Amino acid sequence: MFLDKLQAYCRTQPDKTAIEFVGEGFGESEVVSYGDLERQVQRTMAMLRANGVQPGDRVALQLPKCLAFVYLHLAIMRLGAICLPLNTGYPMRELAYFLEDAEASLFFAEGSARSSVMPLLARLPALRSCYFLDCDENRFDKLIEPFKPEDAAGIALPADRNATCLMIYTSGTTGRPKGAELTHGNLTANLDSLHEAWGWQNDDVLLHVLPIFHVHGLVVALHGALNAGATTIMFEKFDPARALDRLVRQPCSVFMAVPTIHRRLVDAPGAGSVSLRHMRLITSGSDRLPDDLFQQFEEMFGYRLLERYGMSETGMNLSNPLHGERRVGSVGLPLPGVAVRIVDPETEQPVADGTVGEVQVRGANVFKGYWRQPEKTAAAFTPDGWLRTGDLGLREADGYFTLKGRSKDLIISGGYNVYPPEVELVLAEHPAVAASAVIGCPDTEWGERVVAVVVPHADAATTPAAIISFCRARLAGYKTPRQVHIVSALPRNAMGKIQKAQLRDEFCG
């Protein structure tokens, strides 16, 4: 499995750089060899054990991108426990829900979260300890200082492929967010599949600019590189000019990003003089890659982007080929070991090539289920075991798949999923708001931007700015509406359902 493979690299290539971490100031960087990584992870395991962490326990991380995050994440999984990475943008009330729902036993957060987390503790009886780290390495070092790598020597690697090791919360069109449980077997199957399809090599150098609290940055990129024993140059924060400089100067061989990041590279000052022809692999995912960006990227950098398709519940499912045609507008072919079909959304029977239907997937990469939500888990799958993705698409006669929208009410902004009902629930709490509808409008930079259309109560006075700041205090930044339109009524059909398509026509111009 993945963790066994990683441990073997730590033994066979202890001096090779596993991660070079480059902080936000882009000054000094910290180099961690595979041998260092193993020692730090072992000390972290011993620290977690001393804190009572047992297999199956949930340990939550809401930390900025830093080495401590990586050590904790790997150590949690090595102990057979479940890592629960949380977006650093989540405000306190979302955070409280995740900790409570997952019954996390340990929580590592930023120092600045202390004052808001402490009052929550009373309603989190399962939470044994909270550690506040400022991610300056000294604090974390102090925490693991009393432990020696040998203290973890007797701890065996997890052997149960079906044991959950990672839990990613995803929202939905109904109800509260759900924890998608990924097992050691799921991660290993997807990593093996990507290793083969993308030709990961031991001498690859990955430039890593994505957040590590999501599947894309954590599993596809970081695990992908570790699974090959390759080197990761990890930027704490994405910066287009520095990324371009590093891609060329290192030189790097692999880069993975979302369309918003590729757009910023194309728009970066001086980008016109940069060639990325030397790159072995540059991928785009988490959101649809616009055709014009695909073409602009190739014209400017001499590199044809490889677009792929995945989701938190599955990891990666479809990918354009490494060798062969990388087709504009297409997410490519099923990855090794992944079955993908298109069905009629009503009958769930496969449709003919060229016909749009729901994308359904099956394979060892597909998650175990939603944490303590057997009904939602059952509803996510067909009776014969295919995962209903909620995405619409078609298969062309030669096997390439193209996405054609979504059957679910979802906005994707800069690679992050935003479910309108979540934002609408917050708007409903505003005393002046009688009704609201949240829509995604096309946006050159973000793919889509979140827009709210609001009907105020008859005698209530409010402004778009007041509503935006109300949302900002209660939602992660990327979920906060960028625009609010105040109207006297929302268009509804005979059943009373809000006509979002009509709102998009009216307000997305």
Helices 240-249 and 259-267, axial angle in degrees (round to 10): 80
CB count in 10 Å sphere of residue 161: 15
Secondary structure letter of residue 270 according to DSSP: T
Looking at the Cβ atoms of 41 and 218, the one nearer to ligand MLC is: 218
Rounded CA separation 72/83 (Å): 8
Least distance from ligand MLC to the Cβ atom of residue 44, Å? 24
**Residues written for the chain:** 509
Looking at the Cβ atoms of 183 and 312, the one nearer to ligand MLC is: 312
Least distance from ligand MLC to the Cβ atom of residue 340, Å? 14
Least distance from ligand MLC to the Cβ atom of residue 53, Å? 26
Looking at the Cβ atoms of 131 and 478, the one nearer to ligand MLC is: 478
Element housing 504 (H / E): helix 500-507
Rounded CA separation 231/254 (Å): 10
Least distance from ligand MLC to the Cβ atom of residue 94, Å? 14
Least distance from ligand MLC to the Cβ atom of residue 482, Å? 7
∠ Cα 399 180 208 (to 5°):
70
Looking at the Cβ atoms of 312 and 330, the one nearer to ligand MLC is: 312
Least distance from ligand MLC to the Cβ atom of residue 5, Å? 22
3-state secondary structure of 267: helix
Could you list the residues that contact ligand MLC (CB under 6 A)?
Answer: 210-211, 214-217, 238, 258, 260-261, 285-286, 310-312, 413-416, 446, 477-478
Q: How many helices (H) and strands (E) does the chain have?
A: 16, 25
Cβ contact 9:229 at 8 Å: yes
Looking at the Cβ atoms of 198 and 446, the one nearer to ligand MLC is: 446
Residue 349: name the closest of 384, 318, 316, 376 by CA: 384
Secondary structure letter of residue 156 according to DSSP: P
Find residue 438's DSSP bridge partners. 452
Looking at the Cβ atoms of 73 and 78, the one nearer to ligand MLC is: 73
Looking at the Cβ atoms of 363 and 415, the one nearer to ligand MLC is: 415
Q: Which residue has the tokens 């016909």?
A: 355
Cβ contact 248:262 at 8 Å: no
Cβ contact 188:212 at 8 Å: no
Pairing of the two strands 483-486 and 447-456? parallel
Pairing of the two strands 416-418 and 433-443? unpaired
Least distance from ligand MLC to the Cβ atom of residue 169, Å? 12
Secondary structure letter of residue 337 according to DSSP: T
Cβ contact 427:467 at 8 Å: yes
Looking at the Cβ atoms of 88 and 382, the one nearer to ligand MLC is: 88
Helices (H), 276-381: 291-301, 374-380
Least distance from ligand MLC to the Cβ atom of residue 181, Å? 16
Looking at the Cβ atoms of 22 and 258, the one nearer to ligand MLC is: 258
Least distance from ligand MLC to the Cβ atom of residue 445, Å? 9
Rounded CA separation 283/447 (Å): 17
Q: Which residue has the tokens 């998009």?
A: 504
Least distance from ligand MLC to the Cβ atom of residue 121, Å? 27
Least distance from ligand MLC to the Cβ atom of residue 109, Å? 18
Pairing of the two strands 306-311 and 281-284? parallel
Looking at the Cβ atoms of 46 and 281, the one nearer to ligand MLC is: 281
Sign of CA dihedral 472, 175, 507, 263: positive
Residue 94 makes CB contacts below 8 A (sequence gap 6+) with: 177, 475, 476
- Strands across the sheet containing 447-456: 433-443, 447-456, 483-486
Least distance from ligand MLC to the Cβ atom of residue 414, Å? 2
Looking at the Cβ atoms of 58 and 479, the one nearer to ligand MLC is: 479
Looking at the Cβ atoms of 41 and 182, the one nearer to ligand MLC is: 182
